[in-house]
Amino acid sequence: MRFSDWYPHYLEIISNLNLDMKKDILSSLLLSTLISNRSLDLNYLKKKLTNKKILVIGAGPSIEEPLIQTFIHDRSNFVIVSADGSTELCLQLDIIPDFVVTDLDGNIDSLLSANKSGSILLIHAHGDNIDKILKFVPKFRNFFGTTQVFPLQNVYNFGGFTDGDRCVFLADEFRSAEIWLVGMDFNSSIGYFSKRNVYNLKLKKKKLLIGKHLIEMLAKKSPSILFNVTTIEFNSVINGTIDYKLK
């Protein structure tokens, strides 16, 4: 997504959530400085994602279901993109995600382990994770930097706000053929693999609804075909996607 198309959505989000753009910019500049020339080339993303089938794994409670876990495990021919906390589940299933989209809010040990085992990280900068960027970015290798404000030479903005919807925007940016969504339970409770210590549940749910809105907005425009994998118990509707119900 072009930044000029994304920027109005960003302005609306920070207005609704009372976020500080200056802190977002500061975080991006810090990440850019820490990355320096360590970032991978964008051609790597193009090679890995363009015209491919992508499985985006969100951190919703449905990924705790055996039915969903079997579905994930059987998609070895897909490019796996995990959203932060869901990386922990992937490792439990002996799956190394191809990409991990993270603002470093999930289980750091899982992120480090996945990265060491070959996962490419897309580390996101925003105003609330400056301390984590300082502490943890030097520990990672093979990654890209991302931001939700103005893109920099080595920090990119593909669109998206939460880890889950940023996975989808990433796949769309590089024109993936199909984007399959699991664990995108926007209407459910906060899952075990999502943020463990939620001090403001109302804010967390508000952010999830923003993520849902962004995916629905993108689905209307994307050349990719989007599938939403659901079950009888977890059947969140995402408009613009094809419902794929497991039985």
CA 186, CA 225: separation in Å to the nearest integer? 20
Taken in order of first residue, the domains within the chain and their CATH numbers are 3-245 (3.90.1480)
Among 139, 143, 163, 164, CA closest to 154: 143
pLDDT attached to residue 11: 98
- Over its C-alpha atoms, the chain yields an Rg (Å, rounded) of 16
Contact (Cβ atoms closer than 8 angstroms) between residue 211 and residue 165: yes
pLDDT attached to residue 197: 59
The encoded tokens of residue 145 equal 């930097």
Residues 6+ apart with CB under 8 A from 216: 238, 239, 240
> What are the Cα distances from residue 195, in Å, to 13, 57, 102, 107, 200?
20, 15, 12, 9, 11
Residues 6+ apart with CB under 8 A from 147: 24, 27, 28, 31, 124, 125, 126, 155, 156, 157
> In the chain, which stretches have pLDDT less than 70?
191, 195-199
Chain-centroid distance of CA 9 in Å reads: 17
pLDDT attached to residue 160: 97
pLDDT attached to residue 241: 98
Beta carbons within 10 angstroms of residue 167's beta carbon:
30
pLDDT attached to residue 187: 77
In this predicted model, what pLDDT tens digit does every residue of 136-178 receive, in sequence order? 999 999 999 999 999 999 999 999 999 999 999 999 999 999 9
* Three-state DSSP state, 39: coil
> What are the Cα distances from residue 224, in Å, to 130, 142, 153, 186?
33, 26, 27, 21
* Three-state DSSP state, 166: helix
- What is the amino acid identity at position 205? K
pLDDT attached to residue 194: 74
CA 159, CA 3: separation in Å to the nearest integer? 8
CA 121, CA 114: separation in Å to the nearest integer? 9
Phi then psi for residue 199, to 5 deg, are -85, -20
pLDDT attached to residue 205: 87
CA 107, CA 237: separation in Å to the nearest integer? 28
pLDDT attached to residue 137: 97
CA 88, CA 135: separation in Å to the nearest integer? 20
